[in-house]
Amino acid sequence: MAESLVTERTKLKRIPDRGTHERETIYKILDEGFICHVGFVVDGQPFVIPTGYGRIDDHVYIHGSAASRMLRNLQKGIDVCVTVTLLDGLVLARSAFHHSMNYRSVVVLGKATLVEDPEEKLTALRAISENIVRGRWDDVREPNAQELKATSVLKLPIQEASAKIRTGGPKDEEEDYSLSVWAGVLPFRLTPGVPEVDPKMSVEAAVPAYIKNYSRTPRS
Ligand SMILES: Cc1cc2nc3c(=O)[nH]c(=O)nc-3n(C[C@H](O)[C@H](O)[C@H](O)COP(=O)(O)OP(=O)(O)OC[C@H]3O[C@@H](n4cnc5c(N)ncnc54)[C@H](O)[C@@H]3O)c2cc1C
């Protein structure tokens, strides 16, 4: 794909060397995350709504109740901004000013459209589910006609997008390196806890391997 994802709106301004518009980098971050924040304006009021998502090729898919304000308004074709953030560490500097975070983040701008084709809708729902718990979809009952009717799926093309990545330790002022204060990085990882069985389980079923071994390794 030769087209550029950079536009005037997705050009990074502050510390632009931390930014990239490479599709592969953007996809890798999107595939490691599963929660995005969806920003949009309705009647002059900005909303930033957290939700799950999935990616298929060059589209991000989100879903929700057909009655949701977010989904009802986005399908009208209003401008939307979808942001995904992965926190990799807290960067502790010798001065308050130079504290920072290590992160990988993506911003996608554009307009979303309603997925009307039933086959694409089901594929998208599967992609969202698989992005959150890979392996789950094949185990569970698929949505029925009524559930599908109550659910809207929207897709946003990844055409105007940017990624930003910070890595490494603190960058202090030269004169501060002699200060007697601990400095470094506290790494952060998203790791699951111990699975808790539903007390309403009425059949014997082992904890699936995809739950026991759950991790957020990107698929791409
Ligand atoms: C976990 C985390 C903590 C952060 N903490 C701070 C903080 O405390 N203070 C602070 O000023 N900044 C912080 N940032 C960076 C912040 O996200 C912006 O990059 C920063 O405010 C610079 O904005 P700007 O004015 O240069 O660009 P803007 O004019 O705001 O953005 C221009 C374009 O650059 C792209 N862009 C900007 N930021 C990002 C990003 N993070 N990821 C992907 N694309 C981006 C978008 O396409 C955007 O449309 C943090 C980022 C993360 C992920």
Q: Which of ligand 1's atoms lies nearest the C-alpha of 160?
A: 47
CB of 73 closer than 8 Å to CB of 66: no
Into how many domains does the chain fold? 1
Residue 62: what pLDDT?
98
Cα 73 to Cα 43, 66, 160: the distances in Å are 11, 10, 20
C-alpha closest to that of 131 among 203, 40, 59? 59
Residue 2: what pLDDT?
44
Is residue 84 predicted with pLDDT exceeding 50? yes
Contacts of 10 (CB under 8 A, 6+ apart): 21, 107, 109, 160, 161, 162
pLDDT tens digits for range 165-190:
999 999 999 999 999 999 999 999 99
Is 3 within a domain? no
Q: Which domain holds residue 92?
A: 16-172+182-212
Contacts of 185 (CB under 8 A, 6+ apart): 89, 90, 91, 92, 102, 168, 169, 170
Residue 218: what pLDDT?
59
Residue 185: what pLDDT?
98
Is residue 61 predicted with pLDDT exceeding 70? yes
pLDDT tens digits for range 91-136:
999 999 999 999 999 999 999 999 999 999 999 999 999 999 999 9
Give this prediction's pTM: 0.95
Q: Whose CA is nearest to atom 23 of ligand 1?
A: 14
Q: Is 106 in the pocket of ligand 1 (CB under 6 A)?
A: yes
Residue 3: what pLDDT?
62
Q: Is 141 in the pocket of ligand 1 (CB under 6 A)?
A: no
Give the 3-state DSSP-derived string for the chain, with helices as H, strands as E and coil as C: CCCCCCCCCCCCCCCHHHEECCHHHHHHHHHHCCEEEEEEEECCEEEEEEEECEEECCEEEEEEECCCHHHHHHCCCCEEEEEEEEEEEEEECCCCCCCEEEEEEEEEEEECEECCCHHHHHHHHHHHHHHHCCCCCCCCCCCCHHHHHCEEEEEEECCEEEEEEECCCCCCCHHHHHCCCCCEEEECCCCCCCCCCCCCCCCCCCCCHHHHCCCCCCCC
Is 220 within a domain? no
Q: What is the mean pLDDT of residues 129-145?
A: 97
Is residue 196 predicted with pLDDT exceeding 50? yes
Is 73 within a domain? yes
**Positive or negative torsion for Cα 188, 210, 36, 193:** negative
Is residue 68 predicted with pLDDT exceeding 60? yes
Is 4 within a domain? no
Residue 87: what pLDDT?
97
Is 10 within a domain? no
Is 28 within a domain? yes
Euclidean distance between CA atoms 143 and 120, whole angstroms: 14
Q: Is 161 in the pocket of ligand 1 (CB under 6 A)?
A: no
Residue 14: what pLDDT?
82
Quick one: tokens of 215?
């991790």
Average pLDDT, the chain: 94
Residue 106: what pLDDT?
98
Is 111 within a domain? yes
Q: What is the mean pLDDT of residues 28-44?
A: 97
Is residue 4 predicted with pLDDT exceeding 80? no
Is 219 within a domain? no
Residue 1: what pLDDT?
43
pLDDT level of residue 26 (50, 70, 90 thresholds): very high
Residue 27: what pLDDT?
97
Is residue 220 predicted with pLDDT exceeding 60? no
CATH of the domain at 162: 2.30.110.10
Q: Is 103 in the pocket of ligand 1 (CB under 6 A)?
A: yes
